[in-house]
Amino acid sequence: MNMQAVEAAKGRKLVTGVIGADTHIVGNRILSMALEEAGFEIITLGAITPAEDFIKAAIETAADGIMVSSLYGQGELDCRGFRDMCIEAGLEDILIYVGGNLVVGKQDWADVERRFLEMGFDRAFPPGTRGDDVIEKLNADFTARTQGKRIAE
Catalytic residues: 22, 24
CB atoms within 10 A of CB 116: 24
User: Roughly how many angstroms between the first and final C-alpha of the chain, as a whole number?
Assistant: 18
| 26-37 vs 131-146: helix crossing angle, rounded to 10 | 50
User: What's the rounded Cα separation, in Å, for the pair 124 and 115?
Assistant: 9
**Listing from the earlier edge strand, what are the strands of the sheet with 41-44?**
41-44, 13-18, 65-70, 95-100, 123-125
